[in-house]
Amino acid sequence: MATMQVSGIRIAGLASAVPDQLETVDDDAARFGREEAAKISQSIGVTSRRVAPAPICASDLCHAAAEKLLNDLGWERDTVQALIFVTQTPDYLSPATACTLQSRLGLSKGCAAFDISLGCSGYVYGLATAAQFAKGLSNGTDGSGRVLLLVGDTITRVISPQDRSTVPLFGDAGSATALEFNASAAPMSFVLGTDGNGRDHLLIPAGGFRTPRTAATGERTARENGNIRSDDDLFMNGAEVFMFTLCEVPSLFKNATQAAGWTIDDVDGVIMHQANSFMLNHLRKRLKIPEDKFVVALDGYGNTSCASIPLALSATYAKKADESRRLVLAGFGVGWSWGGAAVTVDNAVLPEVVIVPGLPAVVREAA
Amino acid sequence: MDQQTFLSLLDELFETDAGVITPETALKEIPGWSSLTFVGLIAMIDEECGVTLPPNIILNCRTVGDLTAHVLQKRAAA
């Protein structure tokens, strides 16, 4: 497993944003029947989730989170030296969404900006990359080397409304994390891994250059278990995802904790990718992680792909930011790709989750 | 662990009365078999039997008896 440590970089703050529109188990009951919807909801631990209406992109949610965070931090825009955007649902195939976000946020032309294409593991990969950038860009004085990491997805916009393996589970969210040099910051440890053999189990088959979109790829037809889906929609084989998780996540968690020289007793909180509560509870039991240290914060939001770890952090720790916490993060999924991090979050700015209106107020009032 | 214990675990998972699931029962004809209970089955085998069986191995088992044999065999090999 690729392991690294970055010293002298702190997380200055983190904000998350979700759309104002909710979908609930009642909406699922109308599609899949009440009994089926209730069973699914009970298993995955999601009774409602945030869903972005059509014009809203992951970049919009990340933009809202970044505006809140930059204002709360009081960072001058021209002090940000790099912007990294992690998503599977970009604004365009080209250009990189990070470029549009650089201009929307009013960052300087001297700011590096690029995208990383990863899903459930994306926050940890993004954090590792952002920390390395912050380190490289800093001049050794506290507050230099400022990097903005924006991580978000609107997975509900690539799922079929008649696919019960995805509809009741996924939600949309964006996040912004600010990093900067600080000589006394505790080191961050990262472990990263990949197994591309998992490609076909969690996949949007069409829409790239391997299989471009056509009328045929957009046609929704009956697939396994009576689910109706097209090749433009996200496909998920839940059993294979679960199997992959059982095989990789226990060692991922242990390696990340050990990389920092910690045991579970040193850890204040474990935040895994908020896949679903059934999987999270299984992993918690298997790893013997005490319940009070294990964050499960997906009801009301759903599985928000790469944004699930920062969103769970915001939902759990906002307003309790003035403490120092040793956290172990673990992201895992589409790829297969996985990453673990052991980080100390000390006196960071952690605003409450920002709610983003889906439609302009004028339109909403008229509706 | 023996066959009877494994059958009891299946009864618990699928909420069936003892005797409904037998070694001859076709896996996919267990009352309540679905993609959700399938994942539950993988989790149960992992948690209660201490072995991780890939989904395709389970799906290739025709009957409950075939599955039980796989689980017991993998336990013995571990």
**Partner B contacted by A262 (CB < 8 A):** no
Q: Where are the domains of chain A?
A: 2-366
pLDDT at A195 over 80: yes
Average pLDDT value for residue range A61-68: 98
B1: three-class secondary structure by DSSP: coil
**φ, ψ (nearest 5 deg) of residue A327:** -120, 140
Question: How many of the other CB atoms lie within 10 Å of CB of B48?
Answer: 16
The span from the CA of A214 to the CA of A280, in Å, is 38
Q: In whole angstroms, give the CA distance from residue A176 to residue A332.
A: 20
Residue B21 and residue B46: Cα distance in Å, rounded?
20
Average pLDDT of the residues in B21-32: 93
Q: What per-residue confidence (pLDDT) applies to A367?
A: 46
Q: Which of A32, A166, A282 to mutate to test the interface with B (most CBs of B within 10 A)?
A: A282
Higher-confidence position of A330 and A54: A330
B-chain residues near A237 (CB < 8 A): 55
Mean pLDDT of A260-276: 97
Contact B39 A239 (CB under 8 A): yes
Q: Where are the beta strands (DSSP E) in B11-78?
A: none
User: For residue B78, what pLDDT is reported?
Assistant: 78
Pairing between β-strand A269-272 and β-strand A324-333 as defined by DSSP bridges: parallel
Q: Is the pLDDT of residue A363 over 60?
A: no
Contact by Cβ (8 Å): A356, A61: yes
For A2-366, CATH gives 3.40.47.10
Minimum distance, in Å, between the CA of residue B15 and any CA atom of chain A: 14
Res A281 pLDDT > 50? yes
**Secondary structure (3-state) at A320:** coil
Quick one: what percent of chain A has pLDDT higher than 90? 94
ipTM for this prediction: 0.87
pLDDT band at A360 (very low <50, low <70, confident <90, very high): low
Residues 207-246 of chain A whose Cβ lies under 8 A from any Cβ of chain B: 225, 237-240, 242-243, 246
Of A44, A38, A13, give the one whose Cα is nearest residue A275: A44
The pLDDT assigned to A361 comes to 53
| CATH number of the structural domain B3-77 | 1.10.1200.10
Kindly indicate the confidence band of residue B35, based on its pLDDT and cuts at 50, 70 and 90: confident
pLDDT at A54: 87
| pLDDT for res A221 | 96
- Using a CB-CB cut-off of 8 Å, the residues of chain A touching B47 are 282, 285-286
Smallest Cα–Cα separation from A355: which of A171, A83, A179?
A171
Residue to test with chain A: of B14, B33, B36, B51, most A Cβ within 10 A = B36
**Is A184 exposed, middle or buried, given 0-12, 13-18 or 19+ CB atoms closer than 10 A?**
exposed
So what's the pLDDT on residue A260?
A: 97
Give yes or no for residue A231 having a pLDDT over 50. yes
B29: nearest Cα among B73, B71, B67: B67
Q: What is the pLDDT of residue B31?
A: 92
Write down the domain spans for chain B. Answer: 3-77
